[in-house]
Every structure is written in structure tokens, then in C-alpha cells.
Amino acid sequence: MAGQQSARPREKDSNLGRVFIRDLKQTRLQRDYLRELKDLYHFYLDDERRSRLDQMGRVRRAFSLLVWTGKSLLLKLSPPRRLALLISLVLLFLGWTEIGVVQNRLITTDLHPWGFLILLMVLMLELKDKLLARDEIEIARQVQLALLPDEHADIPGWSVWSYSRPANDVGGDLVDYIELDGFRHGVLLGDVAGKGLGAALLTAKLQATLRALVPDAVSLDDLATRVNDIFFRDGLDNRFATLFYGELEHNSGQLRYVNAGHNPPFLIRKDSVERLGPSWMPLGMFSSSSYTEHAERLETGDILLIYSDGLTEATNGADEEFGMERLEQMLPDFRTRRPQEIGTRVLKAVDRFLGDARPTDDLSLVVIVKE
């Protein structure tokens, strides 16, 4: 879709020397490796253990960190690789070992090379799995991009701009436009819980369900109820989706919308900033959830800002969130600006706030201006 970050083909270079030289030029050692260590810390230790570590003294914390990380690493491996890793660690620990006495001479052997070889084998097997998974995810990303609109919607009487950026190669955010009966357009922003491939698959299901049901929906509350029932029936435990779906009448300021657990969008008028609400239960969380359709009339120059929680919950290196207040402080300055300029300013503000920190959630944004 327009504004969507596209996948770039990976450059391949068979000259190992050039590869290392390029890596040295592109890598900022302190920043990149500290970030990698932080990623390891959060991947191998859950919230409870990280909280317990914060309450320990320095020596005990270091020992517990080593033990818990090692245990978590072993538990994540398959049984054969777990056993191989344990054997390699034992061999590396034993090092030079006595194996017997022959003709009154003590015979020793160095176990380090065997330990390193087994460790290298485990590393190569894990790398193989990662590369195969990366190729599959690359295909999934191309499929996801193909399912999304490749340009902004052209809606008479409205100006629309949108953007979506997954935290990983594929994401769980959905931005889509649905043209209806010649005088209406549906605009939606959905957010499936989680991220990565699982969320992306459910995003495709959400898009297909909406595109199938929207043209024949009697009302938006009925639409949300039917989508919820389908997601609850076919969904997975702890998997749900939030959705803001609105319909814009061509050459009119009329907006009808329904909000299923999504962040309340901002409506920026000439003399006020409002939050559109209320929000009801996310899709797929409970059976037989009911929803309510709402309506607003936008005047010329009014702006509607729809966003996913990857914007307000963007977290920097100091574990601070971008937050609703920072976003709200920017809104009055958006009056009289074009949708793309508004979106670009928001994204730049978030990127400045993140600094070197990696995004932890998908970020999507839709900006609608009444012409």
C-alpha cells in the first residue's frame, strides 16, 4: 500500500573480505551490540524474572542472570541439539583430561576442539533453521503486501493518506479501503494482537472477512457483531483484533463508524480536538459481543487521525512510551496541513523519540481531511 515499507532484495556477495569490510563500515559497535544484548535479555528472560533481577544485589544478579539465561537457552532447543550443547559445554569445561597411563606415562587429550566442533554444529543447525524461516517469512511479506492497497484511496470530497510499518518482516496491522455502491468508501485500521507471522495470517483473515461482509452489511453495528462471531468461532486463545471501521460519503462530510476495542481516533476541528468514542470489545475476545454505530459530520478542513497502539506505545531505550500526551500536543499544529505532511510529522516525531531503539510493535496511521 502507499506508505507501506517495501521489502528490498538482499544483496549477495561471495567475497568474504568485502563482506567483512562492509560490515565494519555499517556497524556502530557500541550501539549495535548493546542493542543485541538487550534483545537477548528480553528474549530469554520473562517479565517476572527481569523484575526479580532488578531487586537483587550485583553479585547475585550476575549469577542468576547466567543460570536463568542458560536454562532458557537449553529449553528452547530441540532435544538432540540440547543434548549436543550440554556435551559441548562439558567438553569445553574439562579441557585437558587424563585418559590413562601407558608404560608409566600419563596420557592426556585436549577436549576443547571436540567441544568447539559440537558447539559449531549446533550453531550451524540453528542458523539453517533461521535462514529457512527467513525465506518463508519473505514470501509471506510479499503476499501480505500484495493483499494491501498499493495506493491511497481517491475519495471525492476527501483527502486520505495512510502508512503501515511492521515491527518485524510481517505484521498484524491492517489498513484497507473498500469502495461501496458508487457513493461511499470504507476506511479501516485493524490491529491483531501480537506481531510476526501468526498475526499476519490473522490479519489476512480479518481483511477477507470484512471485504466479504461489508457490501451486504445492514448496519455497522451488525457488521462488527458478525465479524466478532466469526473471529471468536475460528480464532485462537489469547488472539483477538481491534478495529476502527468508518464509511465516508462522497462529496459530503458524513462519517459513520464503529470501534471494536481500537484506540479512539482524534477529530481535529478548527476550534477543538475531540476523541471519537466510545470503544467496545475487541473482535474475537467474547462471543455475542454487541457494538454500536456512531456518526459524525466533518466540516471543510476537519482532520481525522486514526492510529494503532504501536504509535502511542512506542518505547525508547529508557523504557519510556511515546504516549498519548505527546501525540495530543502535536495535534493543534496540524490544522490547515495536508494529510501526508501530518503523517510525516507524526512519524518523524516517533522516530526521534525512539532514537536507536528498535520498534516493538507494528505502527499504522491513517489521516483523513475533509476537502
What residue type is assigned to position 123 of the chain? L
Q: pLDDT per residue over 217-243, tens digit each?
A: 989 999 999 999 998 988 666 789 999
Q: What angle do CA 313, 289, 264 make, to 5 degrees?
A: 30
Over 70: is that where the pLDDT of 13 sits? no
Reported as half-sphere exposure (CB side, CA atoms, 13 A), residue 48 has a value of 1
The domain segmentation of the chain, as residue ranges, is 16-144, 151-370
Distances in Å between the Cα of 250 and the Cα atoms of 155, 192, 317 are 6, 29, 44
Q: What is the pLDDT of residue 257?
A: 96
Compute φ and ψ for 262, nearest 5 degrees: -90, 160
Q: What is the pLDDT of residue 108?
A: 75
What residue type is assigned to position 57 of the chain? G
Cell of 15: 567475497
Q: Is the omega angle on the peptide bond into residue 278 within 30 degrees of 0, that is, cis?
A: yes
* Burial group, residue 138, by CB count within 10 angstroms (0-12, 13-18, 19+): middle
* Burial group, residue 81, by CB count within 10 angstroms (0-12, 13-18, 19+): middle
Over 80: is that where the pLDDT of 12 sits? no
**In the predicted model, what is the mean pLDDT of residues 307-328?**
92
Q: What is the pLDDT of residue 103?
A: 58
Over 50: is that where the pLDDT of 6 sits? no
Q: What is the pLDDT of residue 99?
A: 64
Over 50: is that where the pLDDT of 65 sits? yes
Over 70: is that where the pLDDT of 7 sits? no
* Burial group, residue 73, by CB count within 10 angstroms (0-12, 13-18, 19+): middle
| Highest-pLDDT range among 127-131, 240-244, 360-364 | 240-244
What pLDDT band is residue 369 in, cutting at 50, 70 and 90? very high
Over 90: is that where the pLDDT of 195 sits? no
What pLDDT band is residue 120 in, cutting at 50, 70 and 90? very high
* Grid cell 459524525 in the structure block, residue: 296
* pTM given for the model: 0.76
**In the predicted model, what is the mean pLDDT of residues 310-339?**
92
178/4: higher pLDDT: 178
The CA distance from 202 to 140, in Å, is 12
Contact 123, 116 (CB under 8 A): no
Q: pLDDT per residue over 269-288, tens digit each?
A: 999 999 997 788 999 998 88
Cell of 353: 523519540
Q: What is the pLDDT of residue 197?
A: 79
Q: What is the pLDDT of residue 268?
A: 96
Least confident of 2-16, 180-194, 247-261: 2-16
- Topology classification of domain 151-370: Phosphatase 2c; domain 1 (3.60.40)
Over 50: is that where the pLDDT of 5 sits? no
